[in-house]
Amino acid sequence: MWIILPLILVFLAIFILLKNRAQTDLKIFDPLAGAVNVNENPRDLNKKDYVLSLVNSYDPEPNWNPSKQTSTFNEPEVIASAAIMVDLDTGNVLFEKNSTQRKKIASLTKIMTGVLALEHLNFDDKVTVSQKASTIGENAMGISAGEIYTVEELMYGLVLNSGNDSAYALAEASAGNVETFVKWMNVKAGELGLKDTYFADPSGLDDSTYSTVSDLVKLTRYALKSPKFREVASTLEKELYGDDHKYLYLYNQTNLLSTYPGVRGVKTGYTEEAGLCLVTYALNDGKEVVGVVLNSIDRKGDMILMLDHSFSSLGVNVVHNLL
């Protein structure tokens, strides 16, 4: 009896160890939300998990961070609660205000939505609009249930019109359902080293989403690695024709694309709680900068001041009559 009991305990310990190991193998670790069971929600198109469904991806460079602020002169007074401007070539911070404070980010959330859609879907994949996606409300691309759009078309609606409907359509097409997609958003945040970022939905309507201007620079820098993201973000207007959907005209009125020299877009955001938010990418004389403004009442004015200051600090004279 005394010999059998230790053997039973040994076998029991081995069984528990193997069981726990098997369960661990079924999970992706998300540093923000814990382990995510990738088999929890079966997905369309026979895609079993986040990793196996990837069709495009880039080096996440989780250890890249905007570096310490360089010495600059005549710093502008911006209204935003938090703001930053970074030289993408060097990582140097050219302007900073409360860069590590967590803030609500509204539709800047859609930068991550676009990143994941482009990584898990092909540009020419076709997406049938669900009833849920078509009725999300507020900012909309204008899609209707049963219509069929390409991922490319939905990306233009996501960025130019800040369409909540296109955000949900892309989330469902990528992950099969919105709940799984949101988990993926936080998994991706972990991969990119966004330590002060959490996503609650794909559109930005849920104000429990938060980030920092510093994290948003990292996210935008990663998004710009995709030529397709750059193409969409830099587009001022787009007409969509198709046999499977209505005609749509999309126009981006809010990100200095047609007014400030060198601006190549990225994304705007607004909710009552988040205030006016803006991420802007600009290129002049070979100098690339990304700026972020959170919780402002004049996001374009703040961004113009930061762009002028930053390009001047880099030795680039940008001529405009915006101020």
Residues above pLDDT 70, as percent of the chain? 84
pLDDT tier for residue 4 given thresholds of 50, 70 and 90: low
Q: Check residue 101 and give its pLDDT.
A: 97
Confirm whether 166 is a catalytic residue: no
Q: Is the pLDDT of residue 167 over 60?
A: yes
Confirm whether 107 is a catalytic residue: yes
**What structural domains does the chain harbor?**
65-313 (3.40.710.10)
Nearest to 195 by CA among 226, 216, 181, 225: 216
Is the separation of the CB atoms in 94 and 72 below 8 Å?
yes
> Average pLDDT of the chain?
87
Q: Is 23 helix (H, G, I), strand (E, B) or coil?
A: helix
Reported as a single tens digit per residue, the pLDDT across 19-36 is 443 333 322 323 233 333
Candidates 103, 104, 110, 238; catalytic one: 110
Reported as a single tens digit per residue, the pLDDT across 243-295 is 999 999 999 977 899 999 999 999 999 999 999 999 999 999 999 999 999 99
Dihedral of CA atoms 75, 81, 87, 92 in degrees, nearest 10, equals 80
Confirm whether 313 is a catalytic residue: no
Q: Check residue 50 and give its pLDDT.
A: 84
Q: Check residue 20 and give its pLDDT.
A: 45
Distance CA(107)–CA(269), nearest Å, equals 4
pLDDT tier for residue 182 given thresholds of 50, 70 and 90: very high
From residue 236, alpha-carbon distances to 1, 49, 257, 261, 267 in Å are 81, 35, 7, 14, 12
Candidates 134, 162, 174, 226; catalytic one: 162
Q: Which helix (H) or strand (E) holds 97?
A: strand 92-97
Paired tokens of 288 = 């690339």
pLDDT tier for residue 181 given thresholds of 50, 70 and 90: very high
Distance CA(11)–CA(53), nearest Å, equals 38
Candidates 107, 174, 214, 313; catalytic one: 107
Q: Check residue 11 and give its pLDDT.
A: 56
Higher pLDDT, 307 or 70: 307
Q: Check residue 138 and give its pLDDT.
A: 86
Q: Check residue 71 and give its pLDDT.
A: 62
Reported as a single tens digit per residue, the pLDDT across 191-205 is 999 999 999 999 999
